[in-house]
Amino acid sequence: MTGETIVALDLWHLKLPVASRRDHGIGSVAGAVEVVIVRLTSESGAVGYGEASPWSVFTGTPEAAYAALDRYIRPHVVGARVGDIAAIMGNANKAVAFCTDAKAALETALLDLAGRIAGVPVSALLGGRCRETIPLSCSLADPDFGADLALIERLKADGVGIVKLKAGVQDHQFDMMRLDRLAADHDDLDVRVDYNQGLSPDEAAGRVYDVAMMDVTFIEQPVRFDQFTLMARLRETIDVPLIADESVFGPEDMMRAVAEGICDGVSIKIMKSGGPRRAQAVAAIAAASGLSAYGGDMFETGLAHLAGAHTIAASPAITLGCEFYQAKYYLVDDILTEPLPYEGGAIRVPDGPGLGILPDEGKLAHYAVATTVAA
């Protein structure tokens, strides 16, 4: 069973074309996104996959994730037993600082491999399910608002009822115009606003106050990740929940965020926490402190979405849905062998062994700009 030994660790650094430009408070994405895929192979030939989805302005670079796995983490994985996930992750955490996206890829691959060998889904290894589907939120971040309005029509046709407006990139009038338009024409949507740290301390109070008046569901991370005092002060001035994203990576940050009262809820991402189990720890602290949580993501493929979906399926405290939209609504071509199951405005969590769906190795080879696998 999971006493099997891991005999190989392979990597692909992928460059994947995307459908449009997206502007966020901390930076823009256009042309392509880059991710790192890891494959672990056990002595019986079973395989498990994981994904690191870095963003240089947020968690780090794909080059760093690749090197972390290839050079620094590999010696702690090859030769280890598949089932010793806690020990392997402990060693990986000691071997290289930060690189949380690389560690998320590793733990995902370990869970996928263990699940495939044991014949159970990853969600079962994370404690078992409390839900089968997760409501989907899609972000609106196109500098061309007309393109986002067209996207909304497509989302509504697909049953998606939650959108998140990326704000704080252009001027305040652009943000308020878009919120006015959403309120006027799409008042059936659950609208959330995310500044991605985009506001300066002098402008934050006024802009956040105006947006709070628009009856949005929450406002996320208006100021820089390290401005805890300002986050706490802004929270006191508004009546809608303030959500922390970039300020909270792992359980340690969550503890500080609670102690300093900076937020009413948190965006939980395996790429920030360093894997599904630490993401669950963030969720547990949030819940114990009376905070809400949703499942955020980075610029991911369906493979990382699957890891997040299994994590949320096994985390009762993550109640505000997920943002795993890229595989369907942003990537030109996802890498899975079958599409991620989007269903009526939600993600259905696969119930087959491991993550439930494998990546297409032909696509990994096609989109790779670097790999450890011989051609």
101 binds Mg ion (CB under 5 A): no
Residue 240 neighbours by CB under 8 Å, 6+ apart: 212, 215, 216, 217, 218, 219
Footprint of Mg ion on 231-270 (CB under 5 A): 245
3-state secondary structure of 108: helix
Rounded least distance, CB 339 to Mg ion, Å: 25
DSSP helix, strand, coil percent of the chain (3-state; round to 5):
40, 20, 40
- Cα gap 46→121, rounded to integer Å: 15
Q: How many CB atoms lie within 10 A of CB 250?
A: 17
Rounded least distance, CB 349 to Mg ion, Å: 22
- Write the single-letter amino acid at 118: A
Among 292, 302, 251, smallest CA distance to 273 is for 251
Q: How many CB atoms lie within 10 A of CB 229?
A: 12
Q: Which residue number, 46 or 160, has a Cβ lying nearer to Mg ion?
A: 160
Using CB under 5 A, count the residues that bind Mg ion: 2
Question: x-or-dash pattern for Mg ion, window 37-76, by CB under 5 A?
Answer: ----------------------------------------
Rounded least distance, CB 228 to Mg ion, Å: 16
- Cα gap 104→231, rounded to integer Å: 27
- Cα separation values, 214 from 75, 146, 166, 182, Å: 53, 21, 15, 10
Q: Which residue number, 165 or 306, has a Cβ lying nearer to Mg ion?
A: 165
Footprint of Mg ion on 172-201 (CB under 5 A): 194
Rounded least distance, CB 177 to Mg ion, Å: 21
Cα–chain-centroid distance for residue 263? Answer: 19
Residue pair 13/61 in contact by the 8 Å Cβ criterion: no
Q: Which residue number, 34 or 323, has a Cβ lying nearer to Mg ion?
A: 323
Residue pair 302/272 in contact by the 8 Å Cβ criterion: no
Residue with tokens 């959403």: 182
Residue with tokens 């290289």: 96
Q: Which residue number, 245 or 253, has a Cβ lying nearer to Mg ion?
A: 245
- Cα gap 238→229, rounded to integer Å: 15
Q: Which residue number, 166 or 278, has a Cβ lying nearer to Mg ion?
A: 166
Q: Which residue number, 271 or 281, has a Cβ lying nearer to Mg ion?
A: 271
Residue with nearest beta carbon to Mg ion: 245
Q: Which residue number, 197 or 301, has a Cβ lying nearer to Mg ion?
A: 197
Residue 374 neighbours by CB under 8 Å, 6+ apart: none
Q: Which residue number, 44 or 200, has a Cβ lying nearer to Mg ion?
A: 200
Residue with tokens 């001035």: 237
Rounded least distance, CB 366 to Mg ion, Å: 30
- Cα separation values, 83 from 106, 116, 312, Å: 13, 12, 22
Rounded least distance, CB 217 to Mg ion, Å: 14
Rounded least distance, CB 218 to Mg ion, Å: 11
Rounded least distance, CB 224 to Mg ion, Å: 13
Q: Which residue number, 148 or 245, has a Cβ lying nearer to Mg ion?
A: 245
Rounded least distance, CB 296 to Mg ion, Å: 6
Which residues are near Mg ion by CB under 5 A? 194, 245
